[in-house]
């Protein structure tokens, strides 16, 4: 067992990071990564509620109950845009790295804080500024382009609100880059004695790979977004064919960021899952190296597949085929991870507390999301499915079924560490049942709708699509209810939860060796690491 000696000393200290300094100001100026993590938690949850409101609006409209439509076409398009932009740029991308990552990364490494605590706080405020700029477009000048901002629609045919939204995303990009930088340096420089690179937890490998993508890909998005602004205000003519530009060029730029970005969303989730599966199977992770290196492999290859979003854009047939084959290569490390997690359970001793249920839900939904990705990666098949509800279902299965399930699992898992209290396990389980069921009821029918030919981003549809859309809407309310129960469980845990022990799940990584909640600088004595992270012997 690694560094067990730090454990006992903490039983009697009441001094922890939550009561280290009090008052709102001590939070707003804190340099403690744990507090910054919790501030991201609060922010991202709020944004998630707003994004969720738009989602329920979209689904309610598409259920077409009654003769008059719920939303005007333009309002619908704006709902669709804000839902996508908020969920992608402000919830799923920052969710795990900025919130859970900030909280656990330094503790798991046995560090006192991240390498650059001030930069960490600055990243948070940059994020807030970006979110505020983006949100102001909701009030002043709404946008209806969809979160992908395709030109020339975004530059030539719609309101100037795009500039605000794009500027907001641009600003948030800096936050993302700085957090990534901070994590990379922290991982290299601040590991506790004995914490070699092959002893760092898989969560950290995942965050590390993610950080590489964040640093390399985000600048591309930033430049692209600036170009949209320049095109719109100055008419520079890069994307607008009327000015001699090429509209498809934008798609290349956009996906060159946004494809790797889908891995910014999913790799940290895979990190969380690796932690949960081993902790709740009470067994060493199977194939540590395979999981660690496949994260890095995914990060690398993810830069070479962007063109699979453009099989029918008019790019050459050859380009389509090259992107198709490379995309197939990404599927392999993804499959490897699933096999490893499953093998970890083999001959383990598995328990089913709420965090584990979310991890299992992840595996179930992510398998479906990944397999349907193969349908889309196959050129001849994608020509039919591209821009239909099949794609909508695919990416919700990976992003919501995958990333959000992992986020929920991670919250319930690390909650005792964060607040020193337990959440109600029953509350967590009820929340899980509702989200998991609701999710499948919402999104599985969308695969069928896509096969039947229903395009995405449709305000209205043919009568034969009605039933499946209504089923989907019912599901969305179950999901909403599930998150509501989750929220209540979390708030109840914070206010009334039972006191948590230092290591309620019996896990082996370092964060469980310090007190719950940890002291201001994480450990009272620097831990020494003598074995791998999951040494359940």
Partner 1 sequence: MSWSSLIPATSFMPIQATEIAKEVDLLYAFLIIASLVSFVILVGGMTWFLIKFKRTSLDQKSAYITHNNFAEFLWSFIPLIIMMGIFYWGMVIFEKLRTPPEDIAAEIHVTAEQWAWTYRYANGKEFYSSANDPMIVPAGKATKLVLTSKDVIHSFFVPAFRTKQDAVPGKLTQLWFEPKQPGEYIVFCTEYCGTKHSGMMIKIKAIPSEEYAAWYHAEKKGADSPADLGKTLFAQKACASCHSIDGSRIVGPTMKGLFGSGRKFADGSQTKADENYLRESILVSSAKIVEGYPPAMPVFQGQLSDEDVANLIEYIKSIK
Instruction: By CB under 8 A, name the one of 287, 303, 425, 501 that touches partner 1.
Output: 287
By CB under 6 A, tell whether 377 contacts ligand HEM.
yes
Which residue of 71, 345, 484, 488 would you call a contact of partner 1, by CB under 8 A? 345
Q: At what angle do helices 247-281 and 405-419 cross, to 10 degrees?
A: 50
Contacts of 371 (CB under 8 A, 6+ apart): none
CB of 505 to ligand HEM, least distance (A): 27
* Least distance from ligand HEM to the Cβ atom of residue 363, Å: 13
| Residue 259 sits in the site that holds Cu ion (CB under 5 A) | yes
SS3 at position 26? helix
Dihedral, CA of residue 406, residue 412, residue 417 and residue 422, to nearest 10: -170
Q: Please pick, from the candidates 244, 463, 495, 499, the single residue that binds partner 1 as defined by CB under 8 A.
A: 244
Output 85-89 pairs: Cβ under 8 A, ≥24 positions apart.
Answer: 85/134, 85/143, 85/147, 85/165, 85/169, 86/47, 86/50, 86/51, 86/54, 86/134, 87/48, 87/51, 87/55, 87/399, 88/147, 88/261, 88/265, 88/399, 89/134, 89/147, 89/168, 89/169, 89/172
For residues 440-469, which are near partner 1 according to CB under 8 A?
Answer: 448, 451-453, 455-462
Convert residues 36-65 into a mask of x (bound to partner 1 by CB under 8 A) and - (unbound).
------------------------------
The nearest distance, CB 527 to partner 1, in angstroms, is 23
Please report, for residues 12, 94, 220, the alpha-carbon distance to residue 173 in angstroms, rounded to integers and kept in the order given: 42, 10, 10
Two structure tokens written together for 175 = 């936050």
- Count CB atoms within 10 A of the CB of residue 446: 25
Work out whether 207 is an interface residue with ligand HEM (CB under 6 A).
Answer: no
* Residue 338 binds to partner 1 (criterion: CB under 8 A): yes
State which of positions 138-197 bind partner 1 (CB under 8 A). 144-146, 150, 152-153, 156-158
Which residues, in sequence order, are bridge partners of residue 455? 388
225: nearest Cα among 154, 167, 265: 167
Q: Which of 35, 59, 308, 429 binds ligand HEM (CB under 6 A)?
A: 308
470 lines the binding site for partner 1 (CB under 8 A): no
Kindly state whether residue 394 participates in binding Cu ion, applying the rule CB under 5 A: no
Establish if 327 lies at the interface with ligand HEM (CB under 6 A): yes
Contacted by 399, from Cu ion, ligand HEM, partner 1, none: CB < 5 to 8 Å by type = ligand HEM
Residues of this chain that bind ligand HEM (CB under 6 A): 148, 262, 265-266, 308-309, 327, 330-331, 334, 370, 373-374, 376-377, 382, 385-386, 391, 394-395, 398-399
Residues of this chain that bind Cu ion (CB under 5 A): 259
């Amino acid at each position: 067992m690694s560094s067990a000696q730090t454990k006992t000393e903490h039983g009697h200290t009441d001094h922890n990071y939550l009561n280290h300094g009090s008052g709102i100001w001590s939070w707003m100026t804190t340099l403690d990564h744990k507090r910054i993590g919790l501030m991201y938690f609060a922010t991202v949850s709020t944004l998630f509620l707003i994004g969720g409101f738009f989602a329920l609006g979209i689904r309610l409209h598409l259920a077409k109950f009654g003769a008059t439509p719920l939303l005007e076409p333009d309002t619908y398009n704006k709902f669709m845009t804000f839902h996508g932009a908020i969920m992608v740029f402000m919830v799923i991308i920052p969710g795990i790295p900025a919130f859970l990552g900030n909280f656990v990364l330094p503790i798991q490494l046995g560090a006192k804080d991240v390498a650059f605590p001030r930069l960490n706080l600055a990243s948070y405020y940059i994020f807030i500024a970006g979110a505020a700029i983006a949100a102001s477009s909701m009030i002043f000048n709404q946008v209806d382009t969809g979160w992908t901002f395709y030109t020339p629609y975004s530059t030539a045919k719609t309101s100037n609100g795009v500039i605000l939204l794009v500027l907001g995303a641009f600003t948030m990009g800096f936050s993302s880059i700085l957090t990534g930088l901070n994590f990379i340096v922290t991982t290299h420089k601040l590991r506790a004695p004995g914490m070699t690179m092959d002893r760092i937890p898989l969560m950290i490998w995942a965050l590390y790979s993610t950080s590489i993508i964040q640093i390399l890909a985000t600048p591309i998005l930033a430049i692209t977004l600036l170009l949209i602004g320049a095109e719109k205000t100055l008419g520079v003519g890069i994307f607008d064919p009327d000015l001699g530009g090429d509209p498809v060029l934008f798609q290349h730029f956009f996906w060159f960021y946004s494809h790797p970005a889908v891995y910014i969303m999913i790799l940290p989730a895979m990190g969380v899952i690796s932690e949960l599966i081993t902790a709740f199977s009470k067994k060493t992770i199977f194939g540590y190296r395979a999981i660690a290196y496949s994260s890095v492999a995914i990060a690398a290859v993810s830069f070479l597949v962007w063109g699979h979003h453009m099989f029918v854009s008019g790019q050459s047939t050859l380009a389509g085929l090259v992107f198709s084959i490379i995309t197939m290569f990404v599927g392999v490390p993804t499959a490897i991870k699933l096999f490893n997690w499953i093998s970890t359970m083999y001959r383990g001793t598995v328990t089913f507390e709420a965090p584990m249920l979310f991890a299992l839900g992840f595996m179930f939904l992510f398998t479906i999301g990944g397999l349907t990705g193969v349908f889309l990666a196959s050129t001849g098949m994608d020509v039919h499915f591209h821009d239909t509800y099949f794609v909508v279902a695919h990416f919700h299965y990976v992003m919501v079924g995958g990333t959000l399930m992992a986020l929920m699992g991670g919250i319930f898992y690390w909650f005792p560490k964060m607040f020193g209290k337990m959440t109600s396990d029953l509350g967590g389980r009820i929340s899980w049942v509702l989200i998991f069921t609701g999710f499948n009821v919402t999104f599985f029918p969308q695969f069928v709708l896509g096969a039947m030919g229903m395009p995405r981003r449709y305000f209205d549809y043919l009568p034969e699509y009605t039933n499946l859309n209504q089923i989907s809407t019912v599901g969305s309310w179950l999901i909403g209810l599930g998150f509501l129960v989750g929220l209540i469980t979390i708030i109840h845990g914070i206010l009334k939860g039972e006191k948590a022990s230092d290591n309620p799940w019996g896990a082996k990584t370092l964060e469980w060796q310090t007190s719950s909640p940890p002291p201001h600088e994480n450990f009272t004595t620097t831990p020494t690491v003598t074995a791998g992270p999951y040494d359940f012997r």
